[in-house]
Structure 1
Amino acid sequence: MRNEPSKERLNKIPRLYETEEISLKDKMIRPHFFLGDTDWFVSEFAGQDKFFGFVCLNGDLEMAGWSYFGLADLKSIRIGRGYEVDCELERFWRVRPAKR
């Protein structure tokens, strides 16, 4: 994984179910992981491996949705030579509501 998020960055993410009362469109998106046209937008974190967030595979917004996914799974994805999941750096990613 390129630009793996630090423990400090991960600790800033609300824990799973902590934002349950907030509508999906108003949940704040914290780290953003991507590979090509595939995006994982994180809104909650279990503290070890499991995230909850919005996932869009291969740019297919019609089939995109909210789901659980693991950090270990993201780290294990490799395509060909040198292509792996990247975490957008904090200096480039601004925390924002999901509706944007």
Structure 2
Amino acid sequence: MDALPRLYATEHIAAPDKLVAVHYFIGSCDWWICEYEPETCTAYGYTCLGDPQWPNCR
């Protein structure tokens, strides 16, 4: 996780062009992490909570 860009480090990159560095999944849910702040354990990325027609941004 230390190699991930810090929060806001990639905000100048359009969402479709962001690099997804980590993919977590359990059941029908997926989390794709693009940025991470280790001091606060805060991550930025995308989620799909089981319905691919309704993805959520976090």
For the criterion TM > 0.5, the same-fold answer is: yes
By how many angstroms is 1:63 displaced? Answer: 1.8
Matching of residue 62 in structure 1 with residue 53 in structure 2? yes
Runs of 4+ in 1 over 3 A off after TM superposition: none
Report the Cα distance in structure 2 between the residues aligned to 1:62 and 1:46, rounded to whole angstroms: 29
SS where residue 35 of structure 2 aligns? strand
Larger helix proportion of the pair: 1
1:15 deviates by: 0.3
Q: Give the TM-score normalised by structure 2.
A: 0.89
The Cα RMSD (Å) is 0.9
The C-alpha deviation readout for 1:7-36, integer Å capped at 9, x for no partner, is xxx011000000000000110001111001
Aligned residue number for residue 50 of structure 1: 42
Report the AA paired with residue 31 of structure 1: V
Partner of 1:30: 21
Q: Distance in 2 between matches of 1:51 and 1:65?
A: 14
Count of residues in correspondence between the two structures: 57
The residue that corresponds to 2:32 in the other structure is 41
Q: Kindly indicate whether structure 1 or structure 2 has the higher relative contact order, using CA contacts under 8 Å at least 6 residues apart.
A: 1
| Structure 1 residue 37: Cα displacement | 1.1
Question: Which one has a bigger Cα radius of gyration?
Answer: 1
Overall identity of the aligned pairs, in %: 33
